[in-house]
Amino acid sequence: MGEPLNVGVVGAGNISGAYLNTLGALPDLRVVAVSDRDRRRALAAVETMPGSRSVTLDELLADEEIDVVLNLTTPGAHAEVALAALAVGKHVYGEKPLAANPADAAAVVEAGNRARLRVGCAPDTVLGTGVQTARRTIEDGLIGTPTSATATMVGFGHERWHPDPEFYYLPGGGPLLDMGPYYLSALVHLLGPVRSVAGFGGRPRPLRTIATGPRAGTAFETSVDTHVTGILEHENGALTTLIMSFDVAASKASHIEVHGSAGSLVVPDPNRFDGDCEMWNPGSGGWRVLPPSAGYVGARRGFGLAEMARAIREGRPHRASADLAYHVLDCSYTLLEAADRRTTLDVRSRCEVPPLVPLNEHGFGPAPSQ
């Protein structure tokens, strides 16, 4: 198995608990330090991780024991923290998006390549049985040649549940950049990279009010589009219709559906690791639920970092890669630009589609076969 990678966590906000709950149980990783601008949050986090300590960001970056920085800061700080970690010889794995804009994201990718260090990025939900089973179904030809897809993420806004939601409505946020990475990453796994986009966007409710927590009743303005719809043309010719919104009270639409020349597939929520895939084809006798056939069983947030740690040890590419994250970000910004200009635009970047994850019932017990 080898020694685990020592992890320094930067950012102890809302999402950190989901990561820390997982990382403490993974043999490939050891959390040794946590840093946050609010030291009280860092101290609370280290209490859940025996053997870790609360440090400043400068102390974390200077600590030669730390192999990889887990970057859980808000989007506006993603690039700054990642670049600082790479500059001192540490691998980086970050929350999505890779950076607040493509230029900063490209700088992170370039810095990682130049230093020969790994850069990984969420979402890792695509490594679970939900998306991976859907991918295996498509690759096995059970719905024929993929021709189209729909992807729908709608809600009424994060201010309904998050105590400090303003950053979701600043540049680098909005439904497309916040939730879109789950859907776009899944679509790349299922249908391949995107070559062109068209779209529209709007801000039906520019003033938001926090509903929960100590700041309940506080109003703030949005500075990004909160309803975005678009068309993605994949390199294989398939067309995806995409709707991302913080302005829809309720919907019964599937999260993702993929349609092919011989059948259709309902893909579970890409913001989850598991869930039922449902398929219809002429021989299926109607819609039927497919048993898991690929992916990590019982995966949770942090599996992407663990998979990167194992890939480092095995000398192979990791699946939650910076190239994939950059392509997803590039697609998102190109779509927003196309919506602003009311036109169709080519997506400049491309990425390799990560290898399928074989069905692995033991998570990060035995190493998965490649």
Q: How confident is the model at residue 147 (pLDDT cuts 50, 70, 90)?
A: very high
The radius of gyration of the chain's CA atoms, rounded to the nearest angstrom, is 20
Query: pLDDT class for 319, splitting at 50, 70, 90?
Result: very high
Going by C-alpha positions, the residue among 323, 354, 360 that lies closest to residue 98 is 323
CA distances from 22 to 19, 41, 181, 252 (A): 5, 18, 21, 31
State what percent of residues in the chain have pLDDT above 90.
92
Q: Which DSSP helix (H) or strand (E) runs through 310?
A: helix 303-314
Q: Using an 8 Å Cβ cutoff, are 203 and 133 in contact? A: no
Q: What is the pLDDT of residue 369?
A: 40
Average pLDDT over residues 115-130: 98
Structure tokens at 94: 């970050």
For residues 48 and 20, the answer to whether their CB atoms sit within 8 Å is: yes
DSSP strand pairing (344-346 vs 194-202):
antiparallel
What mean pLDDT comes out for the span 236-262? 97
d(CA 317, CA 366): 18
pLDDT at 98: 95
Beta strand pairing call for 5-10 and 29-35: parallel
Of 303 and 167, more confident: 303
Q: In the prediction, which pLDDT does 365 show?
A: 53
Predicted local distance difference test score (pLDDT) of residue 171: 81
Structure confidence at residue 19 (pLDDT): 96
Under a CB-based contact definition with an 8 Å cutoff, are residues 278 and 271 in contact?
no
Task: Give the pLDDT confidence score for residue 14 in this predicted structure.
Answer: 87
Whether 370 shows a pLDDT value over 70: the answer reads no
C-beta atoms surrounding 19 within 10 Å: 25
Report the SS3 class of residue 162: coil
Tokens of 267: 């893909």
Average pLDDT in the chain: 95
Token pair recorded at residue 254: 């599937």
Burial class (CB in 10 A: 0-12, 13-18, 19+), 88: middle
State how far the Cα of 268 lies from the Cα of 186, in Å rounded to an integer.
Answer: 10
**In this structure, what token pair is assigned to residue 362?**
């033991």
pTM above 0.95, yes or no: no
Residues 6+ apart with CB under 8 A from 179: 153, 244, 271
